[in-house]
């Protein structure tokens, strides 16, 4: 059984969850079933992943009267996509995720990114030059609309994703319902020490996405070093008689960060949660932290005038400098 962390609301959130970003329809149902079968009680979802309906098929097979699990046994997170930030769109977007997931409530609903995209059903509305068509809805207004979801009982808690320290404080300064989590890219090549400490000091729990370095990210460049193949991680895995992924997952949870490794492979799904029967030494914890190279893998970049620039940096709420 997986260990939990207590959120500022008192809810218990399992330290390891199943990630579903990049899990294709056709694969994700089996992945969720395999995960529930081997003890996962936390599934991380998002409308933008395009697979919540299939996640819902798996949940409905396992949850409910006469089935193996009760709703309250599992922790389900979903995320409000950037095209749904306008306060008039928030409730409908949440209800859509609930209906796709076939749930009456979410345990946690995150604002996926601080930037708002043009309203509508196009996931990534773009100008012909590839840049995003933004909307000027402020994330503070989106937050106020998300707070109403808590009041209505549609979600137990709300939180942030991809927010920097300043933006997190900005939300805290206006929040009636405080954000309980900030979900951020985090792995040994991007350890995020400052932002993690900042969130903790404000009572937020941190969830690491791409905890294994997302080797299946769509824009991976051939030959780019893979965290899971890093000889230092591989060496440590041999020492502990565990896999490289288990060492990394263990590092996250041992530092108090929730991790949501994605896999559609049953043996890996099982392996990724088998991290509660060993402990990394303090020295190895520090050693892994020293692998940091502030390498952000998730936001794609483009070259402009010979410089690497963030593809989405044209928005005042873009979180990364
Ligand atoms: P797959 O889904 O084909 O099993 P992240 O969670 O950082 O985004 O990483 C997800 C990627 O890591 C996927 O390509 C997934 O492959 C792979 N992966 C997940 N768990 C393991 C594991 N225990 N060992 C090796 N690769 C893994």
Q: Band of the pLDDT at 249, cuts 50, 70, 90?
A: very high
Per-residue pLDDT at 304 exceeds 60: no
Task: Give the mean model confidence (pLDDT) for residues 131-158.
Answer: 95
Active-site positions? 49
Q: What angle is formed at CA 58 by the lines to CA 56 and CA 61, rounded to 5 degrees? A: 105
Per-residue pLDDT at 302 exceeds 60: no
For the ranges 110-119, 160-169, 216-225, the lowest mean pLDDT is seen at 216-225
CA distance 22 to 25: 9
Q: Which atom of ligand 1 is nearest to the CA of 212?
A: 7
Tell me which of 210, 268, 295 to substitute to probe ligand 1's pocket, judged by most ligand atoms within 8 Å of the beta carbon.
268
Average predicted confidence (pLDDT) for the chain = 93
Query: Three-state SS across 82-149?
Result: HHHCCHHHHHHHHHHHHHHHCCCCECEEEECCCCCECCCCCCCCECCCCCECECCCCHHHHHHHHHHH
The residues, any chain, with a CB within 8 Å of residue 153's CB and separated by 6 or more, are 105
Q: Are 133 and 117 in contact (CB under 8 A)?
A: yes
Tell me which of 261, 270, 271 to substitute to probe ligand 1's pocket, judged by most ligand atoms within 8 Å of the beta carbon.
261
Q: Are 206 and 185 in contact (CB under 8 A)?
A: no
Q: Which two tokens stand for residue 260?
A: 């949501």
User: Looking at residue 199, what is its pLDDT?
Assistant: 98
Q: Are 160 and 111 in contact (CB under 8 A)?
A: yes
Q: Which atom of ligand 1 is nearest to the CA of 262?
A: 6
pLDDT tens string 189-246: 999 999 999 999 999 999 999 999 998 887 777 777 799 999 999 999 999 999 999 9
Q: Which residues line ligand 1 (CB under 6 A)?
A: 19, 210-216, 228, 243, 245, 261-265, 268, 271-272
> Does the structure's ipTM exceed the value 0.95?
yes
User: Looking at residue 270, what is its pLDDT?
Assistant: 98
- pTM > 0.90: yes
Q: What percent of the chain has pLDDT over 90?
A: 82
pLDDT tens string 255-286: 999 999 999 999 999 999 999 999 999 999 99
How many Å lie between the centroid of ligand 1 and the Cα of residue 211?
Answer: 9
Task: Give the mean model confidence (pLDDT) for residues 74-90.
Answer: 98
């Amino acid at each position: 059984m997986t260990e939990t962390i207590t959120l500022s609301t008192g809810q218990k959130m399992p330290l390891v969850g199943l990630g579903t970003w990049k899990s294709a329809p056709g694969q994700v149902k089996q992945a969720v079933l395999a995960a529930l079968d081997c003890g996962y009680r936390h599934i991380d979802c998002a409308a933008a992943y395009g697979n919540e309906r299939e996640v819902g098929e798996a949940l409905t097979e396992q949850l409910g009267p006469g089935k193996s699990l009760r709703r309250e046994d599992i922790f389900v997170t979903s995320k409000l996509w950037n095209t749904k930030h306008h306060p008039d769109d928030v409730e409908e977007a949440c209800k859509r995720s609930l209906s796709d997931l076939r749930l009456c409530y979410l345990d946690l609903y995150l604002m996926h990114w601080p930037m708002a995209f043009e309203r509508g059903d196009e996931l990534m509305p773009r100008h012909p030059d590839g840049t995003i068509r933004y909307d000027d809805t402020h994330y503070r207004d989106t937050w106020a609309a998300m707070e109403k979801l808590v009041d209505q009982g549609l979600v137990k808690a709300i939180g942030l994703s991809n927010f920097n320290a300043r933006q997190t404080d900005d939300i805290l300064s206006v929040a009636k319902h405080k954000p309980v989590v900030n979900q951020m890219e985090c792995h040994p090549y991007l350890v995020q020490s400052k932002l993690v400490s900042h969130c903790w000091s404000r009572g937020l729990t941190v969830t690491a996405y791409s905890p294994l370095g997302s080797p299946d990210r769509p824009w991976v460049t051939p030959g780019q070093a893979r965290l899971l193949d890093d000889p230092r991680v591989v060496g440590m895995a041999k020492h502990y008689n565990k896999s490289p992924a288990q060492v990394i997952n263990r590092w996250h949870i041992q530092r108090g960060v929730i991790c949501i490794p994605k896999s559609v492979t049953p043996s890996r799904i099982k392996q990724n949660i088998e991290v509660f029967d060993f402990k990394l030494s303090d020295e190895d914890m520090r050693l892994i932290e020293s692998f940091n190279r502030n390498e952000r893998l998730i936001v794609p970049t483009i070259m402009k005038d010979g410089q690497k620039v963030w593809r989405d940096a044209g928005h005042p709420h873009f979180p990364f400098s």
